[in-house]
Amino acid sequence: GAVVSQHPSRVICKSGTSVKIECRSLDFQATTMFWYRQFPKQSLMLMATSNEGSKATYEQGVEKDKFLINHASLTLSTLTVTSAHPEDSSFYICSATNYGYTFGSGTRLTVV
């Protein structure tokens, strides 16, 4: 079946630094990838939709300059949290789609 690999699974960074999260489709080409954020005991909130070769579409209220998304190939999308602050601490999940949804295993980001 379709597999999506997300790395890192956990990351701790200092406030003010940037963190990159990768989402790879291992055995299929993903024309569209989605990035979600999940706060503790809450639902998944869509942050942005990335399409290979074009700019990402951000949901209302999501700062595109803070959450940089790049989908440079059909198998890789990256989310970079720039100038991270403690309030950016959260669980980030990607999903890659190609005639179906497959989720990555998520990244727990802690900003100290």
> What residue has token string 């954020």?
37
Among 23, 95, 109, 111, binds other proteins (CB under 8 A): 95
Beta 107-111 vs 10-13: how paired, if at all? parallel
Size of the site for other proteins (CB under 8 A): 22
Instruction: Please select the residue that binds other proteins; options are 34, 58, 69, 109, rule is CB under 8 A.
Output: 34
The neighbour count for residue 92, using CB atoms within 10 Å, is 24
84 or 94, CB closer to other proteins?
Answer: 94
Least Å distance, CB 13 to other proteins, is: 20
Answer for which of 11, 13, 44, 76 binds other proteins (CB under 8 A) is: 44
Q: Cα–Cα distances in Å, from 92 out to 11, 78, 99, 107?
A: 11, 12, 22, 5
Nearest to 50 by CA among 77, 22, 81: 77
DSSP 8-state symbol, 106: -
Q: Which is nearer to other proteins, 62 or 82 (CB)?
A: 62
Which stretches of the chain bind other proteins, using CB under 8 A? 31-32, 34, 38, 41-46, 49, 91, 93, 95, 97-101, 103, 105-106
